[in-house]
Structure 1
Amino acid sequence: MSKQLKADLMLLLITLGWGVSYYLVDLSLEDMGSFTLNANRFLIAFAVAAVLSFPKLRNVSKATLMYSALLSVVLVFVYIGATFGIQYTTLSNTGFLCGLSVIFTPILSSIIYRRLPDRKVIFVVTMSFIGIGLLTLTDSLTINYANLKGDLLSIMCGFMYAIDLLITEKAVKKDDVNPFQLGVFQLGFTGAFNLVLAFVFEVPHLPTSPHIWAPVLFLAVFCTGIAFIVQAVAQQYTSASHVGVIFSLETLFAGIIAFVFANEVLTAKSYVGAALMITSIFVMEIDFGELKKIKMNKMNQEQ
């Protein structure tokens, strides 16, 4: 198994957790505001990561801290879009539209690096775009204006997360940036920024009951701490475009969780969109050139 495939599988597991996170965020928002929730989940994640890996965090470089702070600013906007989006639209819509990072990532990458994406990426992005459209639009393929505010916030989440992926891709390729430290310190900075915003706009507090502590801890440890550290490390071995496509499955997982736990029913059109999303992942992961070589070698051996 190649390092890229291992990295992609790790990212796929993270994506499953993030699909669950929309429902858990919805539960947590019954007890606290959005900035308070994000401060709790990121600061708890940072505390756990720092305690468990303190020896690895010593001798951190200025470049690592700089990129950690920069990524944290981007993540604040990512989570403003995600958490406020949940309050103004359905869980399914939030999950689906946040998945637009799969569209924004290769587009922004092409603009920044002044190069066209290869044909397979264009094909996969097109499939994903159609899939997301089928999952989010009404049966008449029009915008649901009742959810427009939440949908726009969710789209902002997808756009900002595409920026996060591209900055992370650039950062982890630098010799003086430690990917693991980058993943940990961005948790601390993001939590601190959200805590400041919580004091400005809300009354920050810890969860007030066990049934709120449970989702907050899961969000903090798995969906935040492990997720962002693994993402930073895994992006050494795969591209931002690959990550964006894998993370688009978050929309599918979010829809399934919303159906099972929040009784949000998908239409037949939505299931077609989900099938396109899954297919796009397999198309991205399969190396057709390598398969062709294997087939040709097998035919030559048979001859």
Structure 2
Amino acid sequence: MSTQLKANLMLLIVTIFWGSSYLFMKMGLVSIPEFNLIALRFGIAFLLAGIVFYRRILKADFKTIKYAFVLGTILFSVFASITYGIKTTSASNAGFLVSLTVIFVPLLLAVFFKKMPEKRIIFGVSLALTGIGFLTLNHQFKISIGDFLCILGALFYAIHIIVTGKLTKNADSITLGVLQLGFTGAWGLLFSIFLETPRLPSTTESWVSILVLGVLCSAIGFVTQTIAQKYTTPTHTGLLFSLEPVFAAIFAFAFAGEILTTKGYVGASLVLLGVFTAEIDFKKASMKKGYNKINQGY
């Protein structure tokens, strides 16, 4: 098995973990307040990732800590939006709506950095927006607050990706990634202290959801992603991560009995198709394939 294939399999496992996170967030929110859940999830993730990379963290300079604070603040905004949103929408809907991050990244780059999106991205955006309409609008053509917050979370996540790309050029990416988990958890704890009553999970189901979110979805997910992305291409990474909403829908159906309406499935398919269209450069892939055939003597 090639190194790249192993890396792709690792990223697929991470995608499965993240696909399950929407279901586990809904489970955890039954008995734990929103900010409390964020504090526990990212607090556990920071402790575990910190143990693995403690030598790097001890060497962190002020600039890296400052950058991590910025990223942690944005990441907190991401999960505050999604965690509140998922209380009033389905795990399936949340998964597909958060996948719009792939659409928002090139749009934000176009707006703030004057990088005009390619035609395939514009087409992908059109498909995704149509899909959102099918997936979220009711008979009164209104979108629920939960769906809106999940879309807002996708927007914040796109900002996080762009800012991360800028900041990691001048800092150690692993140290930055671990410290941002700590700041995200700290923001969750701060908001929980002022707006909620912080507490530990009181049921087995709550503990399971928190541990899965903290250990598998955040700590192991982050470490695995960092290692795997060294050995595969950004295209493969984006494509694999685009499968996250599919796994979210599978977990929601298998363990929570969630079933989308016919209109919902049409919308989900359009969103997924839009994400794939925006992510894959078919023209470039075709040219590369033709080049390889020439080199192989075809």
Question: Do they fold alike, i.e. is TM over 0.5?
Answer: yes
Question: Judging changes above 3 Å, is the alpha-carbon distance between structure 1 residues 261 and 25 closer, same or farther for their aligned structure 2 residues?
Answer: same
The residue that corresponds to 1:186 in the other structure is: 180
The residue that corresponds to 1:200 in the other structure is: 194
The residue that corresponds to 1:153 in the other structure is: 149
From 222, 226, 230, give the equivalent of 2:220. 226
**What secondary structure, in the 3-state scheme, does the structure 2 residue paired with 1:87 have?**
coil
Aligned-residue offset at 1:60:
0.8
The residue that corresponds to 1:261 in the other structure is: 255
- For the aligned residue pairs, the C-alpha RMSD in angstroms reads 3.0
Share of identical aligned residues, percent? Answer: 38
- Identify which range, 125-134 or 109-118, moves more after superposition: 125-134
Question: Judging changes above 3 Å, is the alpha-carbon distance between structure 1 residues 87 and 279 closer, same or farther for their aligned structure 2 residues?
Answer: closer
Aligned-residue offset at 1:182:
1.0
Question: Judging changes above 3 Å, is the alpha-carbon distance between structure 1 residues 270 and 105 closer, same or farther for their aligned structure 2 residues?
Answer: same
AA aligned to 2:101 is S
Question: Judging changes above 3 Å, is the alpha-carbon distance between structure 1 residues 53 and 190 closer, same or farther for their aligned structure 2 residues?
Answer: same
Residue 281 (structure 1) aligned with residue 279 (structure 2): no
From 144, 169, 172, give the equivalent of 1:173. 169
Aligned-residue offset at 1:256:
2.1
AA aligned to 1:158 is A
Aligned-residue offset at 1:61:
2.4
AA aligned to 2:150 is S
Aligned-residue offset at 1:263:
1.7
- Using the alignment, how far apart are the partners of 2:287 and 2:184 within structure 1? 41
AA aligned to 2:199 is H
Q: How does 1:91-110 map to 2 (within 5 A)?
A: 91-110=91-110
- Using the alignment, how far apart are the partners of 1:133 and 1:10 within structure 2? 33
Kept in 2: contact 1:101–1:248 (CA 8 A) = no
The residue that corresponds to 1:249 in the other structure is: 243
- Using the alignment, how far apart are the partners of 1:250 and 1:292 within structure 2? 30
**What secondary structure, in the 3-state scheme, does the structure 1 residue paired with 2:30 have?**
coil
Question: Judging changes above 3 Å, is the alpha-carbon distance between structure 1 residues 279 and 288 closer, same or farther for their aligned structure 2 residues?
Answer: farther
Question: Judging changes above 3 Å, is the alpha-carbon distance between structure 1 residues 137 and 253 closer, same or farther for their aligned structure 2 residues?
Answer: farther
Query: CA offsets per residue over residues 25-53 of structure 1, 9 Å max, x none?
Result: 11111121000010001111111111232
Query: CA offsets per residue over residues 74-128 of structure 1, 9 Å max, x none?
Result: 1111111111111122222222222221221110012222111234444444444
Kept in 1: contact 2:102–2:275 (CA 8 A) = no
Aligned-residue offset at 1:234:
6.3
Q: Where does the alignment leave 5 or more consecutive residues of structure 2 unmatched? A: none
Matched residue count: 292
Question: Judging changes above 3 Å, is the alpha-carbon distance between structure 1 residues 245 and 211 closer, same or farther for their aligned structure 2 residues?
Answer: same
**What secondary structure, in the 3-state scheme, does the structure 2 residue paired with 1:215 have?**
helix
The residue that corresponds to 2:86 in the other structure is: 86
Aligned-residue offset at 1:189:
0.7
Aligned-residue offset at 1:273:
4.5
